[in-house]
Every structure is written in structure tokens, then in C-alpha cells.
Chains A and B, each alone.
Chain A
Amino acid sequence: MTCETATPPLLQVRNLSLRHLSASGPITILQNVSFELGRGEIVGIIGESGAGKSTLGNAVLGLLAPEFQRTSGSIELDGRPIDPMGGDGDAIWGRRISAIFQDHTASLDPLMSVGAQVQETILAIDASVPRQEARARAVALLARVGIPQPERRYGNYPHQFSGGQRQRAVIAIALAGSPDIIIADEPTSALDATVQKQILKLLRTLVDDTGISIVLVTHDMGVVSEITDRVLVMRKGRVVEQDRTAVILDAPANNYTRSLLAAVPRLRLSATAGKGQANGNASISTNVGEGNTMLLVAKSVSKTFVRQGFVWNSSRNKAIFALRDVSIKLPRGTITGIVGESGSGKTTLGRIIAGLDRAPAGSVTIDGTQFDVSKNGRRSGLLSRVQMIFQDPAVSLNPRMSVGETLRESIRFGASLHPKEGPADAATMMDRLGLARSLIDRHPHQLSGGQKQRICIARALLAKPQIIIADEPTSALDVSVQAEIIQLLKDSITTQHMTMVFISHDLAVVQQLCSSLYIFKDGQVEDFGSSDFVFSQSKNPYTRALIDARPSRFTC
């Protein structure tokens, strides 16, 4: 059957090289990238930021900006070349190849009902479809992607959908033209772990049922391990390795692939012997009132946001609980994790403890001193006892101050509460955190994300706080940098016997770092205990659901 083997693959990218023409000269973005996509296949493209993975996706979609220039190679659909600059227009776009992007909120028009947006896409692709039929098809598509009661939800607007449902609607729109290929660029990165799992499952089902093919662009090994058939590992515009997913995960040939895999934090479900902390819940609850072992005790902290109605229906003002009666304790010299999905109140609690936000009810006691959290930070006296490390290092440093100025400010003002310990030295601190001293005169825009986050850690440590709160300090960073930052935090906290709160959505990281943890859900503490207890023995259904949402490949 020679004619069978001669059939071209659905999508073939051959030796594609692209460069970006910028003011400072052309920069090579992709270099000799080749891959094939067969029918009914999911190919994952994984790489860290700047690897060129999104550019590759955009090239297949014909979405490249005019500043890009193809220097070699081709993209072929069914053996026919297509133009990465979008020259083929509507013949390909939407009908043969469509897309799902990361930001489900920006992908939908907020002023148009979700159903109408699906219907509009159907009509845009085939104007001869009668409106009624287009509507019926739209309802069917919404049902297809798993939106319950699609007929009733048809007229709802994007804000009435949850994040996961919005992403489902975006998938429905992508399916509207019955394309052969969907390019999914980080389709689940903006979603909570439990929802991410469901969306990935949906994509896999679509592929298995309809024979559609997906190119999945992601930075997350977990996502790749869950649903892809084959994987391309990209680095700095080149494909360093491509193979079947199982091979990449079990026997990677390339060093870079190995380092990427090694950097993924793994969750251990069996209690590690020797630590002897499995008494979990009991050990924490018996400690009530023991002020000397607990550095911080927060009692019954509540905070509400008021959703205001208009002037004429102010009676409809709705109070939404951000935190409801939350109590936590931080044992001295340990790292305590707070885990939860977005909107669970974990960051709100962190900001209240730090004195940045007020809470109308509850109390916070640090080292035996009680603070009035209903007052503003400056008046409550909490400020500067607690320092924070924030999620996004890009906005955590004053862009107009050099590294040295930032660190010296922290020594001069932040550490003023503890004059007896003598001034710390910015340069020594930089040495300790693995930052070259030559960086001291740089400004934030001249630093990498990982360097910026190290500076933030240095700034927090130099202020000599009693407690450090790290709020998702690694989620804006690449995986390989994440691991370094986690290790650094762990080392600097334990060597200095400091107390830290680590806020995260990532169970594996929390397990690596924290001796005990709290799991938050909808503004309440859902589960708590020592790490070993929660991960190996907790029966709480929500805790189990969070653990199950993790890619099984990275759980052991």
C-alpha cells in the first residue's frame, strides 16, 4: 500500500526559521523547527518563557505580526503550504485551524451573550446557515463542551459563567467551524487545578470522539503528561527533543528535558518514615493557648466585601465573605503553608496579618502582643513586623530605584524596629542569596524574573521581620527558576530560624517546604494539620479532590 504512506500528514512544519525585525536588528525566534501532527493526535509543545512556543503556534494560525520574517522552511496543511503571515485568511482560519487562548475572560465579548457568540461564529464561517439552525447548532456545541442546561444558559453573559465554563465556551467557539486542528495556547494556565483537570479531560474526549487534532502549547509538564500523545521540547527557538510522551517522561534523551522534569515538584502521598509528625490534627489542636510555642495566633478573622446595588436598590447590597471566622497558628521557626484555589481568601488573610488590609472582626497576636486588625496598618502597629514576598516580581520592585537603593531603604527603614542587632549589609545579603554584587547598580528592567524575586527576598530578610509571608512567590517564574527560589527560601528561613507563611496553590511545593498547612476554601479553613498527616491520611473530601487534581504522573 504505497499510496497510504505517501499521504501527507495533516499538518507538517518543515525546517521553519523565523526572525523578528526589531529596532536593534533581527533576532532569531525559531530555528529549523520541524514537526508533524497526525489526525486525532495531541502534540504538546513545552518550553520555558522565550522558547518560541507561542510564536510557533501563532505561525500555524497565520497570526504572526508583520515584524516577523520567515527565513526558511514551510508549514503545510494536507501537503499544501500555508502562509504564517495570515495570507490565506478565511479559507484556513476558523474552518481548518482554530485556536483557544489562555485568557478566557479576554477571549469573550463581555457585552454579548455566550450563546450568541457561538452562533455568530457559526454564521461567520458559513453565512448560508439559517439563523434558527445556527442557534440550534450553538446549543448543541455548548452541550458538547459540557455546559449544563445549554438551552437555558444560552442567553447568559460571560460574567455569569465561572472561569472553567468560560473556557468551555471558548472551546465551543473554536469548534464552531468543525476545524481539523485546534491550537491551544496555555488553555488551562489561568484555571484552578481542579478545573484544569476537567478541561484537559474535555480536550482528550473531543480528540478521541471526533478525530480532531490539537497542538497544545504549555509550560507545564503536568499538563503535557496528562493528555498529549507526543511532545516537542523547545528551548531558545530550537526543538531540543521530540518523542512520544511516555518516552519523554520516562527516558528523556536530552539534558534540558531531564532538568525540566527534575524541576517539577512531586507530591508524596505516603508518610515519610522517621519524621514522626503523623499525629497531625491532634498536635496542633492541643496547642491552643500555648503562646510560647506559637509565634502568631490569628483568631476568628472575618472580612466581607460589599457588593453595592445601585442607589435605588441599596437594600440589595450583598455582603460576600472573603474570610469567615478563620483561625490559624504559626509555630515559631517553622514554615506553614496556606493552600487554596483562587478566591479562597488565602491572600486576604496574608495581607491582614501583614497589616496591609483591615479586618472588621478578629484578632492577631504576635509574640504575645495583640494587635487590632480592625485599624489601618500604620495604626495597628502590625506593619514591619511582617514582610511579604509577592507573586509577581515584575511589579514588586520600584522600577525607578536601583537594587542598592531598594535594599538600603529596607535596612534603613524596615529594620528600624530592631536597632540592637546592628545594621545588616546589603552586599553580604546578596552574596548569600546568590546574587552577583555587580547587580547592585542595576534597575529592575535590567534583571531577570528570578533575579528580581531574589532581590525581593533580600529586601524582606534585610528588614528583619518576625514573620515572612510569601504569597505565591514562584507562580510567575519558569519551572527551573521556581525550584531554585523554593530552595533558597527554605535555606534562608531554616538557617535563620525564621517563621514563614507560604501561600500557594501548588500542593507539591507546599509539601516540600512546609511542616504544617491549612487548606482554605471559600474563605474558610477546610482542613489543616501537619504536612504528612494532610497528604497521607486526611479524609477531607476537598483535600482529596485537590490531591486528585494533580497530574498522577507527578504524584508518588
Chain B
Amino acid sequence: MKTEILRALKKRPYGQVLTVPMIVLATYILLALAAPVIAPQNPYDPLQIYGWEASSSPGTPGSGGYLYLLGTDGLGRDILSTILYGLRISLVVSITSAAIAALIGLTAGVSAAYFGSWVDSAIMRLVDLQLSLPTILVALIAIVTLGPGIDRIILALIIAQWATYARLVRSVALSETNKSYMDAARLMRLPTSRIIFRHLLPNSIAPAVTLIPIEIGHAVALEATLSFLGLGVPIDKPSLGSAVANGFQYLLTGQYWTSLFPGLALFGLIASINFVGEDVRRHLDPRSRPV
């Protein structure tokens, strides 16, 4: 897989490896990693928040000895710091959920294709059931039944996403199962697990891998939506989505900054992930390669 990605990168037209979305995304990730160091304030620490400076406009000097570059929210938290810390939550939630969902989906899809008959029916009916409900509804149901919390959000996102991987991988694995090398593997009397994980899975995985970045983008958006609806992460640890939601009620009073800046940050993050995901898909998908 690694060599393939490298080869795909090298094959870029004009020898260009980095694109603007890639640079933007890398910057986002660096900022998220460095948040505790570079953020002027720890928005999760009540001792660092000066409540009387709530709803300061951007550029106001704060009591902590730094400027509120992007202003503060209704609780007095520095918006810039909230964004940097929120970024961490958004990224962790979306990447973890997409990765686990991919793992579950891949295993389910490949097993359905390999075993066929009732295993296939059982898994795929579950997938149908899952895909027939809107993703946001599935996530909502999960959150409502499981209760709030970052781990629950991740679980809800996994439940909402695994089916997409399963369906995609199953269709690829089905056509792989009919190839002669799979027959050869059966004739060798290989253990079933070896046939699945050594032969079938590595050859069925490519389209699903290209789906991962795109699904991470979806997960960020979905988490933001859930948080915006108040069903996501706890209010004292805002993600980007809940930061937007926190400021939403002040928008009409002219305090645009509390919602606008986290919103822009969220927009930039989702857009860059989607662009990079699309890039990766185009380079890994053999069908989109020039003949």
C-alpha cells in the first residue's frame, strides 16, 4: 500500500507532489498538535478564563497579557484558543471513527463476499437497514440511546459509517473471489483466515482506502452537526461544531466573531480534507488512471 501511494504521488502531472489543499490540511494538523504550546489560553481550564471579559470583540487586550485576536465567547473563552483546541477534538473524533469504521466495514464486507449464503444475507441486510436511514438520524439515535461524551460520539459515527465500507468492499471482493488465484488458495487447503486476510482482503481493499479520507471529511461535518444540535461533545470541551453553536445565539446581537471564526475554521478543514481525499482517490483508483 505504501509503495503504491508513493508511486501515485510520483506520477502526479508536472512532478507536483504538494497541492494547496495538502498544505492547508498539514497546517491544520500541525496547529492541532501544537495547540497546548501555541494557544494563548487553555479554554478547558476555568482558572485561565476571565469571565468579565466575555464577548470581547477581536483585538481586545486581555488580562492574561495577550490579545484576544479573534475575540472571546459568551463565557470569556479566547476564540482562537477554542478553535485550536476544538480542532484537536474534531480531528481525533473523525479520524478514530473513520479508521475503526473502515476496519469493521472491511472485515464485514470481505466476510460477506467470501462466505456467501446466510452470512452474506445477514451482513448485507444489516447494511441495507443502516443505509436506508439518513446518517444523521442513525447518529442521533445512537447518541440519544448511548448518552453524551466523546467516546459515544465516536461510537455513533462508527455505527453511521461502517456500512458504506462494507458494501463497497463486498462488491470488489465478490469479483476477486472468482479469480483463479482464490481457487488456487482453496486448493492449497489454506486456513480460512489466511485466505481472507492474506489473499482476499489485500486485493479488495484499494477502493475502500480511497474512501477513508472522504469519510473523515464526512465525520468532521457529522460531529460538528451533532455538536451544533447540542448532542455532541460536552459544552465545557467544545469541538469546532459546538464552538459554532455556542456563538450562534449571539449572532443577531452583532457578536459575529463567536460563530464566524470557528465556522470558517471548520469550513477550511472539511474542504481541505475533501480535496485531499479526492486527490488520493483519483490517484489510487485504477479506473481514473490514464490508459
Contact = CB atoms under 8 A, between A and B. Distances in A.
Interface in B170-202: 179-181, 183-191, 194, 198-199, 202
Interface string A308-342: 00000000000000000000000000000000000
Nearest to B192: A378
A356 B203 contact: no
A413 interface: yes
Nearest to A391: B180
Interface string B3-35: 000000001000000000000000000000000
| Size category of the binding interface on chain A | 20 to 34
A351 B182 CA distance: 13
A384 interface: yes
Nearest to B185: A398
A384 B186 CA distance: 8
A84 B75 CA distance: 73
A414 B188 contact: yes
A390 B183 contact: yes
A395 B189 contact: no
Given A383-B189, A398-B203, A416-B189, A388 B181 contact: no
A413 B188 contact: yes
Contact of A414 (B11, B179, B187): B187
A301 interface: no
B189 A414 contact: yes
A23 interface: yes
A128 B146 CA distance: 72
A383 B11 contact: no
Given A390-B180, A395-B181, A400 B186 contact: no
A396 interface: yes
Contacts of A413: 188-191, 194
B188 to A, nearest CB: 4
B180 A356 contact: no
A400, A459, A463: residue with the most chain B Cβ atoms closer than 10 Å: A400
B190 A409 contact: yes
A392 interface: yes
Contacts of B187: 354-356, 383-384, 386-388, 414, 463
A351 B184 CA distance: 11
A395 B181 CA distance: 6
Contacts of B188: 384, 409-410, 413-414, 463
Contacts of A388: 180, 183-184, 187
A494 B180 CA distance: 25
A397 interface: yes
Nearest to B181: A398
A396 B186 contact: no
Nearest to B176: A395
A387 to B, nearest CB: 6
Contacts of B291: 65
Nearest to A409: B188
A26 interface: no
Chain B binding site: helix, strand, loop or mixed by DSSP? helix
Interface in B53-91: none
Interface string B200-243: 00110000000000000000000000000000000000000000
A529 B290 CA distance: 52
A399 interface: yes
A377 interface: yes
Contact of B11 (A23, A351, A384, A459): A23
B190 A395 contact: no
B180 A396 contact: yes
B189 A398 contact: no
Which of B187, B190, B202, B290 gathers the greatest number of chain A CB atoms within 10 Å?
B187
Contacts of A400: 202-203
Contacts of B186: 356, 377-378, 383
A23 B12 CA distance: 10
B212 to A, nearest CB: 19
A522 B176 CA distance: 28
Most buried by A among B183, B190, B194, B198: B183
Contact of B189 (A23, A67, A384, A396): A384
Nearest to B200: A398
A398 B202 CA distance: 9
Contacts of A384: 187-189
Contacts of A398: 181, 185, 198-199, 202-203
Nearest to A65: B291
A383 B186 CA distance: 7
* Central interface residue in B181, B185, B291, by most chain A CB within 10 Å: B181
- Of the listed residues A398, A410, A414, the one surrounded by the most CB atoms of chain B closer than 10 A to its CB is A398
B222 to A, nearest CB: 33
Contacts of A23: 11, 290
A459 B189 contact: no
Contacts of A399: 181, 203
A416 B183 CA distance: 18
A377 B185 CA distance: 12
Given A398-B199, A400-B202, A378 B184 contact: no
Contacts of A354: 183, 187
Contacts of B11: 23
A356 B183 contact: yes
A500 to B, nearest CB: 15
A413 B187 CA distance: 10
Interface in A50-72: 65, 67
Contacts of A395: 179-181
A207 B199 CA distance: 51
Interface in A106-120: none
A184 to B, nearest CB: 23
Interface string A409-449: 11001101100000000000000000000000000000000
A392 B189 contact: no
A380 B185 CA distance: 17
Contacts of B194: 413
B237 to A, nearest CB: 42
A391 B180 CA distance: 8
20 contacts: A23-B11, A65-B291, A356-B186, A377-B186, A384-B187, A386-B187, A387-B184, A388-B184, A390-B183, A390-B184, A391-B180, A395-B180, A396-B179, A398-B203, A399-B181, A400-B202, A400-B203, A413-B191, A414-B189, A459-B184
Interface of B: 11, 179-181, 183-191, 194, 198-199, 202-203, 290-291
Interface of A: 23, 65, 67, 351, 354-356, 377-378, 383-384, 386-388, 390-392, 395-401, 409-410, 413-414, 416-417, 456, 459, 463
Given A65-B291, A383-B186, A463-B188, 5 more contacts: A23-B290, A390-B180, A396-B180, A401-B199, A413-B191
What 3 pairs between A and B have smallest CB-CB spacing?
A390-B180, A396-B180, A414-B188
